[in-house]
Chains A and B, each alone.
Chain A
Amino acid sequence: MEPFTSLPDWGPHWLVALGVCARVAAAVATGTLPILPGASLRIRGTLAAVLAAVAVPGALAAAAHDAPRATGGSAVGGLLIGEVLVGVGLGTAVAAVLAAAGWAGGILGSVSGLSWADDFDPDPAGQGESAGIARLARWVGLAAFFAAGGQLAVVAGLVDSVRHVPVGTAFAGPAGGWLETVVVAAPGAALDLAVLFAMPALTAVVAFHLAAAVCLRTIPFTPGHGLLQSLAAVVLLVALWLSAESWAGGAAAAMIGAVDGCLPGR
């Protein structure tokens, strides 16, 4: 089979390399959002270039067996758009999984009252900033993820994706399991992780509120405004402190497992 004979100007290798660059750039742009929220475009571009350089040989090897069938300029544009969509899908799946710890922190902050000021902030400019407890959970989760080598799983999954979903074949025929995984399984896994991460401390906070309700209904005692919320915040922080070590280890393992499940061929 001679797949690239209709595009002599671009050449088959250049077309594959361009597709890999588009896919990796889109994946890095979306996937690194939770990891590097303030990173400059240069850092992201460099990271994407390095990953693309690593992925191109594998993509060329895969293209030898299952190559794209571009027949003109519009087809090249379509191929690039398809690769960008694949990259955005993969990056979003990884970003969703990595953001699960932050979502868990947001749930805990809302339930315990620590993030009510952020939840009801009328200033739309501050909507992008998460509550302190959510930020803490996000950084602890990411630290555990990196300490457990999770970034290797992400990089390996992204590089391997060009072999399991070759350039130009993502939308050429019936979409394989990768599309279903990226679109359906990844957000579900991320939400599942967020609830799972929040559950232990959430149970402690809810149990505290129930116990406080029983005590204060049995004993005629009226707490001052904010006392119960303050105690609930203390309970939450104690629960996080008690479970920090096991929580971080379990969160890292769960996130790496979810990343492996979200990336094709892992």
Chain B
Amino acid sequence: MSDAADRTIPATPRRRELARRQGLAPQAHLPGWVAVLATTVLLLPAWAAATLPAATAMMRRTVVAAIAGAPLDLDLLLPAALVMPTALVVAAAAAAGLAVRFLLDGSGWQLSRAAFRLDRIGLVGGLSRIFSAGTVRAAIGNAAGLAVLAVAAGFAAGPLVTILRDAGATADPVRLFAAAHRLLLPLVAAAAAVAAVAWLLTRARFERRIRMTPEEYADEARGMQADPKVRLMRQARQTRPGRGEPATEGITARPAA
């Protein structure tokens, strides 16, 4: 085992991929979800303005058709004015989420990453992770994030509280919904900030964790040389005209320690 101070070399792509397959690499699930949420919340007023009249008309037409005994067609049950805006919002939200995931996690699609790996499961490793300083740090960080979100929600709830206190039973529903929407916007912004900070911290911790010692780097370089598959791939690249790699075969990039 090497000391953390000896880990001075950034991880190689191979080590990075290995860590990813072992489930150690942080995934941008949370930033992606926040992107989906933010897109949905931002599009919500436009979606409501587009679909509520259509939904009202659909209900009225459906009731009238049911009373009159007319056959129900598909456009009556699922009008395009109702389906299309909803589908657009879903597509936009999904696109935003995927864009964030591609941006932060990269676009490498490998089915092997999704395969179930038993070596990810370890009783001792799991217990050591549970009872570790990292758990305490995560708890403190989560409490701080929750406090930030709660404070943001408290400040954002001001307009809604004002309407509740002043208008009461005569409150205009449009003003109520607008106040609720204004409550969500700062909260989503705070959630985005918390998610970004959490992801950056996790990413930095991961990068620090997978750094290599000079000995590990040398071992990995030797292992790659000895790997016949890698050697064959390099030879194949060298034989292609114009795309040959520099003659690095046999050279060990041993950095200065």
Could you tell me which A residues sit within 8 Å of B by CB distance? 196-197, 199-201, 203-204, 206-207, 210-211, 214-215, 217-221, 239, 242-251, 253-254
What B residues does A239 contact at CB under 8 A? 164
Q: Determine which of B161, B176, B188 lies in contact with A199 in the assembled complex, contact meaning CB atoms within 8 Å.
A: B176
Report whether A246 and B168 are in contact in the complex, using a CB–CB cutoff of 8 Å.
Answer: yes
Q: Whose C-beta in chain A lies nearest to the C-beta of B180?
A: A207
CA distance A201 to B169 in the complex (A): 9
Task: Give per-residue flags for B27-38: 1 if the beta carbon is below 8 A from chain A beta carbons, else 0.
Answer: 000100110010
Q: Determine which of A204, A219, A220 lies in contact with B160 in the assembled complex, contact meaning CB atoms within 8 Å.
A: A204
Task: Give per-residue flags for B128-168: 1 if the beta carbon is below 8 A from chain A beta carbons, else 0.
Answer: 00000000000000100110011001000100110111111
- Interface contacts beyond A215-B149, A217-B37, A221-B146: sample of 20 additional A-B pairs, CB < 8 Å, sorted by A: A199-B171, A200-B164, A204-B160, A207-B157, A207-B160, A214-B188, A214-B191, A215-B146, A215-B153, A215-B187, A217-B33, A218-B34, A219-B194, A239-B164, A243-B165, A246-B167, A246-B168, A246-B170, A247-B168, A249-B168
What B residues does A211 contact at CB under 8 A? 153, 157, 183-184, 187
Q: Whose C-beta in chain B lies nearest to the C-beta of A255?
A: B169
Report whether A215 and B170 are in contact in the complex, using a CB–CB cutoff of 8 Å.
Answer: no
CA distance A194 to B91 in the complex (A): 36
The answer to whether A242 and B161 touch (CB under 8 A), given A203-B176, A249-B168, A250-B168, is: yes
User: In the complex, what's the smallest C-beta–C-beta distance from B253 to chain A, in angstroms?
Assistant: 40
CA distance A246 to B167 in the complex (A): 6
Name the 10 nearest CB pairs between A and B, nearest first: A246-B168, A250-B169, A247-B168, A250-B170, A251-B169, A218-B191, A207-B180, A215-B149, A243-B164, A203-B176
Report whether A199 and B173 are in contact in the complex, using a CB–CB cutoff of 8 Å.
Answer: yes
The answer to whether A196 and B169 touch (CB under 8 A), given A214-B188, A218-B149, is: yes
What B residues does A214 contact at CB under 8 A? 37, 149, 184, 187-188, 191
CA distance A214 to B157 in the complex (A): 14
Decide if B96 is an interface residue (CB 8 Å cutoff). Answer: no
CA distance A79 to B152 in the complex (A): 67
Report whether B170 and A253 are in contact in the complex, using a CB–CB cutoff of 8 Å.
Answer: yes
CA distance A254 to B171 in the complex (A): 12
CA distance A219 to B37 in the complex (A): 14
What A residues does B183 contact at CB under 8 A? 207, 211
CA distance A211 to B151 in the complex (A): 11
Report whether A246 and B194 are in contact in the complex, using a CB–CB cutoff of 8 Å.
Answer: no
Decide if B177 is an interface residue (CB 8 Å cutoff). Answer: yes
Report whether A246 and B33 are in contact in the complex, using a CB–CB cutoff of 8 Å.
Answer: no
Report whether A219 and B142 are in contact in the complex, using a CB–CB cutoff of 8 Å.
Answer: yes
Q: Whose C-beta in chain B lies nearest to the C-beta of A216?
A: B146
User: In the complex, what's the smallest C-beta–C-beta distance from B43 to chain A, in angstroms?
Assistant: 15
Interface residues of B in 30-53 (CB under 8 A from A): 30, 33-34, 37
Decide if B100 is an interface residue (CB 8 Å cutoff). Answer: no
CA distance A245 to B170 in the complex (A): 12
Report whether B170 and A204 are in contact in the complex, using a CB–CB cutoff of 8 Å.
Answer: no
User: In the complex, what's the smallest C-beta–C-beta distance from A145 to chain B, in angstroms?
Assistant: 12
User: In the complex, what's the smallest C-beta–C-beta distance from A250 to chain B, in angstroms?
Assistant: 4
What B residues does A245 contact at CB under 8 A? 168
Q: Whose C-beta in chain A lies nearest to the C-beta of B194?
A: A218
Report whether A200 and B37 are in contact in the complex, using a CB–CB cutoff of 8 Å.
Answer: no
What A residues does B176 contact at CB under 8 A? 199-200, 203
What A residues does B153 contact at CB under 8 A? 211, 215
Decide if B210 is an interface residue (CB 8 Å cutoff). Answer: no
